[in-house]
Amino acid sequence: MAPPAHLARAICASAALTEGGRGVRFAVEHQGRREPAFVVRYDGKVRGYLNICAHRPLELDWPEGEFFDSSGLYLVCSIHGAAYQPDTGHCVMGPCTNEERLVPLHVEERGGMVYLISNGNQNV
């Protein structure tokens, strides 16, 4: 069952996200602040995260929308090279511990669109 319209915000068309390709950036309210965020496609599913490195409060992508490494297997911080698992957001390489990870967002894909779903930690 789809969530009520007031709990979902359209982010982009599903076709805008290719496997291991460019992401789509947007902004979200998170813990009372407007924060950068992004969605990508990995392992056939749409994944969404705050666009903030777990180690330093910097956006991951440069150039804009480029979140994956050249292999399309890891999300990478363009500033210092930390690598994250796209499906969990956990840091796997760089100045990290096993507990450090990107902040996930609840996103869903349906009817040819990608939506951000409110879960209480963010406003849509």
Confidence at 80, pLDDT banded by 50, 70, 90: confident
Q: Which of 23, 16, 15 is nearest to 66 (CA)?
A: 23
Confidence at 97, pLDDT banded by 50, 70, 90: low
Whether residue 83 contacts residue 37, with contact meaning beta carbons closer than 8 Å, is answered with no
Residues in CB range of 8: below 8 A, 6 or more apart: 2, 108, 115, 116, 117, 118, 124
Which CATH number describes the domain made up of 5-123?
2.102.10.10
Indicate the pTM of the whole model: 0.89
Residues in CB range of 58: below 8 A, 6 or more apart: 52, 77, 79
Report the alpha-carbon distance of residue 98 to residue 93 in Å, rounded. 10
pLDDT at 123: 45
pLDDT at 104: 97
The percent of residues above 70 in pLDDT, for the chain, comes to: 89
Strands 45-50 and 33-42, sheet pairing: antiparallel
Our CA angle for 113, 43, 70, nearest 5°, is: 105
pLDDT at 96: 76
pLDDT at 124: 42
pLDDT at 69: 95
Is pLDDT above 70 for 115? yes
